[in-house]
Structure 1
Amino acid sequence: MSSQRHPALIPLLLAGVLVMGLASVNLGPVPLSPARILAAFTGHGDEIAQAILFQLRLPRTLVALLVGATLGLTGAVLQGYLRNPLAEPSVLGASNASALGAVAAIYFGVADWHPALLPLLSIASGLIALMLLFALAGRSESPLTLILAGIAVSTLAGAGISLALNLSPNPFAAMEIMAWLLGSIENRTMEHVWIALPCVMLGMALLLYDPRALDALSLGEDGARSLGVDLSRTRIRLLLGVAIGVGGAVAVSGSIGFVGLIVPHLIRPLTDRSPSALLLPSLLGGAILLTGADILVRLIPTASELKLGVVTAFLGVPVFLVHLLRERRLW
């Protein structure tokens, strides 16, 4: 990968992930001292501390780190590949399509049969949307064609979600669908972690496999081809990585926006601005941002816990606007 402008960037981000992870495990409505947490980890803690730690906070923390890392990385990859500073997973319809699969599982009651069926339908719908995207884009290697096809897929998936809400058999089903669409990682278990982990790891591996191809694409399709980049294989690899990674993430967290859009913009001034130099920092930055937002959700005193997607939107819009005004001439 290209060298970062600040050599300490990756170590600082890794430290940030560690700090946020520890804070997420430690902070919450029920205070746990470091001594009780350590005792619980070593198997000598009291039953209450162990239940809070292993059944509530640790799975929630791991889900936040996995989902945030996936959204941050996919945002950086798509902004580099499409050469569009506003690109994020929803641009190619990945987020809406995965959400449609989960909504269908809730609407038809499939989610009640087994907890794994909702994530599996979410991932499957993401892959179906990917095939539709390829069918619409055809053999074209232009980013504009992909963006237009992605808008069509995203709009179609959004229409399906609206239809499910409109035809919902009872208000309770509609409320469940709406709660899921707002995004949350409340009440997650280790089962959710194991469901998301294979998809997230496979998606990240595909996206991080050849970062130099993104640098070559910054020269345009002809320039990348002259440098030996196989545009068709690169497109398939990147889109598969986005669909699988985002499908696994959305399946356990619901729809959470702005993370993939904002994180690359926060990280870009600290790098040499090449797409490859942005990937790993955006992965770590996404994990930090989403975990921090989830901590904020737990600490804000409200009658019912705020949805994570709402908080990321409120945090994201002003941050994005400030950086957009500051960096628009440097992109």
Structure 2
Amino acid sequence: MADADHTDVRLFRMPEVSLAGSVPLAPLLRARFEPDLGMELDGARFVLTFHQIATQIDVLDGVPVLINLYPWRSHVTVRIEVAGRLVLQHPFAVRDAIAGPLQRELARQDPAVTHWGYEIVALGDVPRPAARSRRRNRIEELPDPPLPVAALADFGVDDPPGLAATAVTVVLAAPVAAALDALGGPVELGGLLFGQVYADAAGPDRQIVHVGELAAVRGGAATATSFTFPAGAFLGIDHADRGRRLVGWYHTHVADEGDLRLSPADVVLHTGSFRRPWQVALLAGPVRDGRAVRAYSLTGGRLTRVPVHTAAGKPA
């Protein structure tokens, strides 16, 4: 566990891995989370818990390219307290919570440098010496294999003519739809979604996300108005386990809001941990005329609502 006020990010020029200096971490975290939370965080306390997840490479593409030189520190739970009140606690990929704002700051300060390495050094850490390598290794992230092709009709879902095309369409297995409809209680509930992703035969750059399983997550900070994943919620997940993929997450809302919509905290949670364009957020809860399920996915960097159906053609 580390306090951001006593944590620095060391910077290295690449590919020679030469130490170039360091920047404090707290201002980067404020820049990352202030817009999403809609509040100033000048007096906030940031507590970080890094998770030991085996990652061979952790690279943030863009300008400049950022390479995490401590790839085993690729995920972190960020806890934010303001005046003693907890406002956010959630696990994030380091590339989103820290490398993202760092990339923007480095692009502003030194636009001529195209590749940086970085490592996060907390109080009590023993920083490793800046290694120098005579070889220039090219670092690449392997692309995903091609998606299998499917059509909505394969799941018994009609594609109504004239309906505006979206990049993602969600299809729920019947047991999943029934389970979401049955969820309820005095606090918000949530968990992970597993299933498959298909290239939509109806058009290029469109995907069908078939949700075949809900995996409830317990032990997080749940109230009547919020749900957060506990630290370590994503540890041990094998995305290829039993032929399934982690296709997103779900949670409930308790109060009748008239129309279901994601809260600012929900947006922070999704954009920090579910970066694939086909990873979706499902929201289930009461509306004026009963209960409903809404689905959202990242499109152009923003979370937008996308169609959701139940297999065999019944809209959710």
TM-score bracket, shorter-length normalisation: under 0.3
Q: Normalised by the size of structure 1, how large is the TM-score?
A: 0.26
> Which structure is higher in strand share?
2
TM-score (norm 2): 0.27
Which has the larger helix fraction? 1
Higher relative contact order (CA 8 A, sep 6+): 1
Larger radius of gyration: 2
